[in-house]
Chains A and B, each alone.
Chain A
Amino acid sequence: MDALGLARLQFAVTTIYHFLFVPLTIGLALTVAIMETIYVRTKNPAFKTMAQYWGRLFLINFAVGVVTGIIQEFQFGMNWASYSRFVGDVFGAPLAVEALLAFFLESTFIGVWIFGWDRLKPSAHALAIWLVAIGTSVSAFWILTANSFMQEPAGYAVVHGHAEMASFGALLANPQLWVEFPHVLFASVTTAAFFVAGISAYFLLRRQHVDLFRSSMKIALVLGAVATILLAVNGDAQAKHVVQAQPMKMAAAEAVWHTTGGAAGWNIVAGIDQAAGKNTFAIQVPDLLTFLSGTKTFQGIDNLQAKDVQQYGPGNYVPPVATTFWSFRIMVLAGVLMILLAWYGLYLIARRKALEGRRRYLRLLPLAIGLPYVANTFGWIMTEVGRQPWIVYGLQTTAQGVSSTVSTGMVAASLIGFTVIFGLIAVADVYLLLRYAKAGPDGHEPVVDAPLEATAVL
């Protein structure tokens, strides 16, 4: 693989890995904040125990999210110097604002929250976790402002071969941002909801700490039911927007090779032959594509390719169709399963059924913790792969954005290094999460300190 391929692989590895931790951070901060607020309001110590239990798991996850985020601040310069030179004027601003408005807020108040249980009054302490929750969401907003610019450039002018910021307001009013940001927020709440529900189910099945985990489960299912349905509504709006704004991405995601007339079917599955420019087979739901895309003439890949050649000059403007198509379907399938699971749980609660009795449902929930992770990851793969060959849609190709002076060996070395360290961290992280999750709410000090003796490491 050449430096470009390795740089792309490195971005994929570091960013996907980072985003395994981010949604849970955003969603669980909110969940813990809600729990602690209930404690402050009701003075019921059970909710303090609850907030502390989920807070412990939150912190293990948070730490990995933070450190893997450090790379993001620098790797545009390291691997994508030509991209940074081209769009830094526009793209750098949201990153700087993110650090100023979000990173300081979350990192400061997470310290206050961890170490402040005895030093602050309960309401001030609850405020700290709310500020962390706000910080994580603000962080998502600004990084997605930057990402939305890559998907659908807005608020810029190209001057002397550089994209310059022309309107900060237009950058923020980018319609892509306002479908993408809610999508990430709802996905984050969903991730936390399934995380909390899955672990709660584990304890309910064993009939341990039943009160605490029944309450946790209720909070999780309500959040999950609301978030999954908002996710679907917003996802539909996002798809309709992308059909207009990045038609090629959506054509690839639906594997539509030729522009359709009215009443086109939706491919449930398809055999994709990109070289031949056709599907070898397809199982379709009649009329559904027309309904979902909100357009009578859904533009096909061949038509869009011809248009792009006219607009941007000779070249291949078709993204990897199979990857985009299947990522989209995997995300949607995981989403549908999550809606069903969350709403069935909500139905049980509404009918005042004892959750502990629904053992088959409870056995599904720990497995379902994986669903939001699958959906989050494949959602991003669809978004980023579907934008290819562009790094900034219509302005710069990915091949043009790579660092010109960084050698293949350097990218390979750093890719191997990051992958190895990420792998090790993943092992330690999963080990600790399982250990602390299983330890239950009283297990907050499974660690007994050795008495003061000479155990120097030196």
Chain B
Amino acid sequence: MSLNTLWFILVCVLFIGYFFLEGFDYGVGILAPFIGKSDLERRAVIQTIGPVWDANEVWLLTAGGAIFAAFPQWYATMFSGFYLALFLMLVALIARGVAFEFRSKDERKHWRSLFDWLIFFGSAVPALLWGVAIANIVEGVPIDAHMNYVGGFFNLLNPYAIVGGLATLLVFTLHGAVYLTMKTEGELNERARRAAYSIGWAAAGIAILFVVLSAFRTDMFDKPGLGVWPGVVAVCAGLSLIATRLLLDRHKEGWSFISTGVAILFVVVSVFLTLFPRVMVSSLNPKWDLTVYNAASNPYSLHVMTIVALTALPIVLAYLAWTYWVFRQRTSLKQSMHY
């Protein structure tokens, strides 16, 4: 396997980590004002992601850094092209991060409800925008011969992309609801369960609609990438979401969390398989696509980065796993709260 392909896979892995992990904490942020009826309950809901959300966000920063290092042309085209969308996402992430730390540091009601809503929008906006971005990336956007994005902001907001956005929004919300069923007790747990129930079918439905639309709007079902048919993987993602709903019926909370996680993993994998060997699809001319070859750094740079990444990632994964183990208990309303 060439290093270009390896880095394409590594970027895919980083996005899987990001969407799987921060996906549930976006969901928790979206659900917090609804599942937590009192201030104490909302604190408990936020507490469930307290020790981990910050590290979850690092997957995004690492993915950004990895794209910059391995595929600078991809980095430059995507982030200058999706300028306003990315600006909105950055504002959301900034507001959200500050809100977690600041919300419980003043007891006034308005203060707390302000930061609760910042957490809500700060979680919902990226959850929505990522689906919009994914849809545009697999469908293709106007890119000229010089690798520059030449569309506007509203090009990105076509109906297909909006379905994509709703799909990620609902899937992450479901992922968060299921996470809360694992991490809460008593009435909160019951409410999280009911939320997961009511979102479950909607999330599965819109995700499957997105896959069906993708069959028409993209070449997801036309050819295998890296020897695997991306369409098949996408369908498996839909099936996994249906499984989530069925597992919840049987009170298998851990397994249903894994199945929403697997659905997210399959979505990311199918997107990357559809793209390969492209990283940005030009809707103007296939010759102007950015690929893992024409967008990449030189072999020496990729070689160095490969050594660093393959050494560091296992260590990172080990201590991340240790953290989840240390904080494995359910959150109780009686424990002392930081957030």
Judge whether B149 and A447 touch: CB under 8 Å.
no
Judge whether A119 and B326 touch: CB under 8 Å.
yes
Name, among B34, B91, B98, B300, the residue most crowded by chain A CB atoms within 10 Å (CB to CB): B98
Is B211 on the interface with A (CB-CB < 8 A)? Answer: no
Judge whether B300 and A74 touch: CB under 8 Å.
no
The 8 Å CB contact of A92, one of B52, B72, B90, B326, is B72
B29-76, CB < 8 A from A: 33-34, 36-43, 50-52, 54-55, 57-58, 61-62, 64-70, 72-73, 75-76
Q: How far is the CA of A70 from the CA of B241 in the complex (A)?
A: 31
Chain A interface extent, by class: 35 or more
Judge whether A92 and B70 touch: CB under 8 Å.
yes
Name, among B33, B65, B67, B70, the residue most crowded by chain A CB atoms within 10 Å (CB to CB): B65
Judge whether B80 and A405 touch: CB under 8 Å.
yes
Report the stretch among B171-179, B268-276, B312-320 that lies at the interface. Answer: B312-320
Smallest beta-carbon distance A180→chain B, Å: 20
Q: How far is the CA of A63 from the CA of B54 in the complex (A)?
A: 9
Q: How far is the CA of A88 from the CA of B107 in the complex (A)?
A: 46
The chain A residue with its CB closest to the CB of B319 is: A108
The 8 Å CB contact of A73, one of B64, B94, B304, B308, is B64
Q: How far is the CA of A361 from the CA of B42 in the complex (A)?
A: 46
The count of residues in chain B whose C-beta lies closer than 8 Å to any C-beta of chain A is 80
B61 cross-chain contacts in A, Cβ below 8 A: 70, 73, 99, 103
Judge whether B83 and A414 touch: CB under 8 Å.
yes
The chain A residue with its CB closest to the CB of B339 is: A114
Known contacts A120-B326, A164-B297, A447-B107; A78 and B313 CB within 8 A of each other: no
Q: How far is the CA of A418 from the CA of B93 in the complex (A)?
A: 12
Smallest beta-carbon distance A332→chain B, Å: 33
Judge whether B64 and A60 touch: CB under 8 Å.
no
The 8 Å CB contact of B55, one of A100, A104, A448, A453, is A104
The 8 Å CB contact of B305, one of A77, A93, A98, is A93
Judge whether B50 and A115 touch: CB under 8 Å.
yes
Report the stretch among B109-117, B221-229, B253-261 that lies at the interface. Answer: B109-117
Name, among B52, B62, B95, the residue most crowded by chain A CB atoms within 10 Å (CB to CB): B62
Judge whether B338 and A115 touch: CB under 8 Å.
yes
A221-253, CB < 8 A from B: none
Judge whether B105 and A60 touch: CB under 8 Å.
yes
Is B246 on the interface with A (CB-CB < 8 A)? Answer: no
Judge whether A89 and B52 touch: CB under 8 Å.
no
Name, among B69, B117, B297, B304, the residue most crowded by chain A CB atoms within 10 Å (CB to CB): B69
Known contacts A71-B90, A104-B58, A432-B105; A452 and B40 CB within 8 A of each other: yes
A88 cross-chain contacts in B, Cβ below 8 A: 68-69, 72-73, 75-76, 297
The chain A residue with its CB closest to the CB of B301 is: A165
Is A337 on the interface with B (CB-CB < 8 A)? Answer: no
Q: How far is the CA of A410 from the CA of B333 in the complex (A)?
A: 46
Judge whether B301 and A458 touch: CB under 8 Å.
no
Judge whether A93 and B301 touch: CB under 8 Å.
yes
The chain A residue with its CB closest to the CB of B338 is: A114
Judge whether B83 and A447 touch: CB under 8 Å.
no
Smallest beta-carbon distance B91→chain A, Å: 6
User: Per-residue CB proximity of A446-458 to B under 8 Å, as 1/0?
Assistant: 1111101111111
Is A81 on the interface with B (CB-CB < 8 A)? Answer: yes
Q: How far is the CA of A115 from the CA of B337 in the complex (A)?
A: 9
Known contacts A115-B327, A455-B38; A82 and B81 CB within 8 A of each other: no
Dominant secondary structure at the A interface: helix
Judge whether A448 and B297 touch: CB under 8 Å.
no
Smallest beta-carbon distance A348→chain B, Å: 35
Judge whether A405 and B81 touch: CB under 8 Å.
yes
Judge whether A99 and B65 touch: CB under 8 Å.
yes
Is A1 on the interface with B (CB-CB < 8 A)? Answer: no
The chain A residue with its CB closest to the CB of B297 is: A89
Judge whether B33 and A92 touch: CB under 8 Å.
no
A104 cross-chain contacts in B, Cβ below 8 A: 55, 58, 62, 316, 319-320
B312 cross-chain contacts in A, Cβ below 8 A: 97, 100-101
Smallest beta-carbon distance B20→chain A, Å: 15
The chain B residue with its CB closest to the CB of A445 is: B336
User: Per-residue CB proximity of B267-303 to A under 8 Å, as 1/0?
Assistant: 0000000000000000000000000000001101100
Judge whether B105 and A454 touch: CB under 8 Å.
no
The chain B residue with its CB closest to the CB of A166 is: B300
Judge whether B58 and A406 touch: CB under 8 Å.
no
A410 cross-chain contacts in B, Cβ below 8 A: 83-84, 87
Smallest beta-carbon distance A7→chain B, Å: 11
Q: How far is the CA of A108 from the CA of B62 in the complex (A)?
A: 14
Is A404 on the interface with B (CB-CB < 8 A)? Answer: yes
The chain B residue with its CB closest to the CB of A428 is: B102
Judge whether A447 and B101 touch: CB under 8 Å.
no
Known contacts A60-B101, A421-B91; A403 and B38 CB within 8 A of each other: no
B95 cross-chain contacts in A, Cβ below 8 A: 421
Smallest beta-carbon distance B315→chain A, Å: 9
The 8 Å CB contact of A74, one of B86, B98, B147, is B86
Judge whether B106 and A108 touch: CB under 8 Å.
no
Q: How far is the CA of A119 from the CA of B51 in the complex (A)?
A: 12
Is A367 on the interface with B (CB-CB < 8 A)? Answer: no
Judge whether B338 and A99 touch: CB under 8 Å.
no
Judge whether A111 and B68 touch: CB under 8 Å.
no
Binding site for A on B (CB under 8 A): 33-34, 36-43, 50-52, 54-55, 57-58, 61-62, 64-70, 72-73, 75-81, 83-84, 86-87, 90-91, 93-98, 100-102, 104-107, 109, 113, 116-117, 147-150, 297-298, 300-301, 304-305, 308-309, 312-313, 316, 319-320, 323, 326-327, 333, 338
Q: 13 new A-B pairs (CB below 8 Å) besides A107-B55, A452-B40?
A: A68-B94, A70-B97, A74-B90, A77-B76, A78-B80, A79-B80, A88-B75, A92-B75, A93-B304, A96-B65, A97-B305, A164-B300, A425-B98
* 9 A-B pairs in the complex with CB atoms less than 8 angstroms apart: A63-B98, A77-B75, A85-B72, A92-B65, A96-B66, A112-B51, A112-B326, A418-B90, A449-B39
Binding site for B on A (CB under 8 A): 59-60, 62-64, 66-68, 70-71, 73-74, 76-79, 81-82, 84-85, 87-93, 95-101, 103-105, 107-112, 114-116, 119-120, 159, 164-166, 168, 403-406, 410, 413-414, 417-418, 421, 425, 428, 432, 435-436, 446-450, 452-458
